[in-house]
Amino acid sequence: MKINFKVRAKNPQFWIQIALSIAAPVFAYYGITGADLTTWGSVGKLAIDALSNPYVLATAGVSVYNALNDPTTRGLSDSRQAMSYNLPKKDVRR
């Protein structure tokens, strides 16, 4: 498995995708809405509950796997071209 994490880490969209991959299963399982997270105590309790629930951890893990996977290549690795990048590739449209 070769993934260019150095470049992915420089892309804000990658971090948004990872955060949503973890938050969505947690929020769905516990039926959480934004109104439920009005104190840091409630956020901490939710995090502890989620970390102690194997089902939530498994669904979040599957979700993160899907966020890491590049569907344009075989397996989990990035393409040779993507591995050669030092920065995320900019889309050049003419």
Spatial distance between the Cα atoms of 16 and 18, rounded to a whole number of angstroms: 6
**How many angstroms separate the Cα of 25 from the Cα of each of 14, 64, 85?**
17, 10, 32
* Average pLDDT of every residue of the chain: 90
pLDDT on residue 50: 96
Cβ atoms of 3 and 82 within 8 Å: the answer is: no
DSSP state of 52: T
Diameter over CA atoms, the chain: 50
Query: How far is Cα of residue 23 from the mean position of the Cα atoms in its chain?
Result: 9
Could you tell me what percent of the chain has a pLDDT over 90?
A: 57
Which pTM was predicted?
Answer: 0.79
Work out the pLDDT band at 44, boundaries 50, 70, 90: very high
